[in-house]
Structure 1
């Protein structure tokens, strides 16, 4: 099928979708099947491209060492074959399976590239939740801050959040003073 008009025969192309054949002056060429489509049928899903996964990226995780192995749809290799090749390559080390976690007590966050913070005071790697020296019990920060800070932190830790909500500064208990506003 040719495209264009009588005056400009080389301008545009017809959509190669079986139900469309619309003349499109800015056609799209599919990376997978190499056919030309209009704006409505340009996606792999819309024209049901048989080679839609040729550019897709997959990651297979090795069960032995937790290493991720990237693959693309062009390879056409089975995941099992890739994992076997990885094990035979010598890069598979079961000792690497344990990922580093945040050293703060009861924190089980796995430290990755994007969520790791190194304390500038004690040089300990912690997760983003515990990035402040007070949050990860930085001993050097406590020693340099003085005794007043320790008292403040102890008082803050002993307080309940509910205490602040029930009684405010200078207010009396609601049970001794009757309410002046009645609910209807």
Structure 2
């Protein structure tokens, strides 16, 4: 069966699935069986491809150590590859338990993208608890000299602010508010 139309005989292809033979102007070529199919039958499952595992990639996870292993090929190879992985020495059951955030009642699993180390206490926590106040940082609460300095500075400021009573506010060169003419909106 040739594809296309009378005016353009080389345009498009007919689906090679028996019973379909639909003319498709944008046909799909199966990478496994190298036949041409329409959009409805392009997947290996839809046209019952004899070689569906050709160039397929899968990732299996070891149940012992939670390591992900990429495989290409058929399902019966999974067991063989997992057996090789277990015997290789790289399979360590201690790797299975993922670290969690040490903050009380936080069950967040620490991964490479959501963990941080506190610069003060060097504790590794999740991003939600990255600030010292959020994870009850031990050194932040024990660093009382810095907190005392801040407190004494605050107290000095508040005392000076209270003694001011409107004096030295830059009003010495301006007329008082009672002599300032008011503007009325019409």
Q: Structure 1 residues 83 and 133, CA, compared in 2 at 3 Å: closer, same or farther?
A: same
Q: Structure 1 residues 110 and 48, CA, compared in 2 at 3 Å: closer, same or farther?
A: same
* Partners of 1:70 and 1:100 in 2: CA distance: 24
* Partners of 2:114 and 2:49 in 1: CA distance: 38
* Partners of 1:15 and 1:53 in 2: CA distance: 21
Give the length in aligned residue pairs: 147
* Partners of 2:47 and 2:104 in 1: CA distance: 54
Matches within 5 A, 1:1-184: 1-54=1-54, 55-63=56-64, 65-72=65-72, 74-142=73-141, 143=143, 146=147
Post-superposition shift, 1:107? 2.8
Aligned to 2:173: none
Post-superposition shift, 1:27? 0.7
Three-state SS of the structure 2 residue aligned to 1:40 is helix
Q: Structure 1 residues 130 and 49, CA, compared in 2 at 3 Å: closer, same or farther?
A: farther
* Partners of 1:137 and 1:109 in 2: CA distance: 17
- Superposition RMSD on alpha carbons, in Å? 2.9
Structure 2: gaps (5+ residues): 151-186
Q: Is the 8 A contact 2:13 2:36 kept in 1?
A: yes
* Partners of 2:76 and 2:121 in 1: CA distance: 47
Three-state SS of the structure 1 residue aligned to 2:132 is coil
Q: Is the 8 A contact 1:62 1:83 kept in 2?
A: no
Taking structure 1 as the reference length, the TM-score comes to 0.64
Q: Structure 1 residues 96 and 15, CA, compared in 2 at 3 Å: closer, same or farther?
A: same
* Partners of 1:138 and 1:51 in 2: CA distance: 59
Taking structure 2 as the reference length, the TM-score comes to 0.63
Structure 1: gaps (5+ residues): 150-184
Q: Structure 1 residues 120 and 80, CA, compared in 2 at 3 Å: closer, same or farther?
A: same
* Partners of 2:74 and 2:45 in 1: CA distance: 21
